[in-house]
Amino acid sequence: MTRLGIIILCALALAGCGSLMSSATSGMAGNLSSAILNQDDPETVRDGAPAFLLMLDSFVEGSPHDPAMLAAASDLYAAYGVLFVEDPERAQRLTARSLDYGQRALCAAENGACGIASTGFRDFEPKLAPLKRDDVATLYSYAIAKLAWIQSRSGDMGAVAELPKAETALARVRELDPGYREAEVERYLGVLATIRPPALGGRFDEGRAHFERAIELSEGRDLGARVDYARYYARTLYERELHDRLLQEVVEADPHADGLTLLNVIAQREAMELLASADDYF
């Protein structure tokens, strides 16, 4: 797994903090979440986010069995751990905390999901079966935490082997509520379908359909969908024309979009890096 593809996926989870935190703190943290996502200077977010992490930890201490509170903490730890932390050991610690919060959130939402951390793949889907539509946001946060945890351990084949669990969780999100964050779910499923080459089980026709649907659903505002489409699909299949077209569209776009500005700025930086390395790759 390359770094920024899952980075952006995890960072999107920040948007989920708003509704929860506004009820807990009279709108302050909800507004802060929006401010983070609408910031066009990622370094400002990097420097300020740790204070928000500590605040979320304090809220969890006060409500240790609140699934929404646990999911919000899981979201931000996942995003911060893979977006701004360069030290591999520290990234692993932060994403481990994210996954722990995500697993606790699922257990708090539905007793049948307790013990999911030690569940093998054969028994994983049955663990998700009792979840209801009201649990979709919590399940989504868990899936993102799982992806972040895997990303920070991308050299560990045991961790990479957990990818099917993340895909199963996202598929269950779509099953329970097809309209829940549909563009993002489509994008993540696109990455998961194309993260392995065709010879190792990659499903590239399916992945292309997911990416194109994600772009359509976001009305082109989510620039990261094009970046992941170029990286995972076009690069793997050596489709240079598609690769360059997608990335050039990202570079030329206005990154400012409500709830997506931070992620779009990061996507543009990555698009420029991929274009710069294209001659060596193709």
10-residue mean pLDDT profile of the chain (282 residues): values are 41 45 46 74 86 87 90 88 90 96 95 92 93 94 93 88 94 95 93 90 95 96 95 96 98 93 92 97 95
CA-CA distance, 252 to 232, in Å (whole number)? 21
282 is in which domain, residue-wise?
181-282
Q: Which helix (H) or strand (E) holds 272?
A: helix 261-276
Residues 31 and 150 in one domain: yes
Residues 111 and 248 in one domain: no
Q: Give the pLDDT of residue 252.
A: 97
Q: Give the pLDDT of residue 32.
A: 62
CA-CA distance, 226 to 214, in Å (whole number)? 9
For residue 230 the two structure tokens come to: 């170029």
Continuous H helices in the chain: 3-11, 17-25, 28-37, 42-62, 67-83, 88-109, 121-128, 136-151, 157-160, 163-176, 182-194, 204-217, 223-228, 240-252, 261-276, 278-281
Q: Give the pLDDT of residue 31.
A: 58
Q: What is the pTM of this model?
A: 0.85
Residues 213 and 269 in one domain: yes
Residues 143 and 11 in one domain: yes
Candidates 163, 167, 105, 164; CA nearest to 134 is 105
CB 257, CB 278: distance < 8 Å: no
Residues 161 and 191 in one domain: no
CA-CA distance, 221 to 168, in Å (whole number)? 27
Residue positions counted in the chain: 282
For residue 54 the two structure tokens come to: 């500590």
Residues 144 and 235 in one domain: no
Total domains in the chain come to 2
Residues 164 and 215 in one domain: no
Candidates 199, 205, 196, 253; CA nearest to 226 is 253
**Final residue in a domain of this structure, among 122, 155, 175:** 175
Residues 187 and 268 in one domain: yes
Q: Give the pLDDT of residue 49.
A: 81
CATH number reported for the structural domain that contains residue 217 in this entry:
1.25.40.920
Lookup result for tokens 């520290």: 90
CB 52, CB 76: distance < 8 Å: yes
Q: Give the pLDDT of residue 83.
A: 81
Residues 20 and 142 in one domain: yes
Q: Give the pLDDT of residue 14.
A: 47
Residues 171 and 185 in one domain: no
Residues 66 and 100 in one domain: yes
**Final residue in a domain of this structure, among 175, 191, 215:** 175
Residues 162 and 259 in one domain: no
Q: Give the pLDDT of residue 129.
A: 94
Q: Give the pLDDT of residue 17.
A: 47
**Final residue in a domain of this structure, among 137, 157, 175:** 175
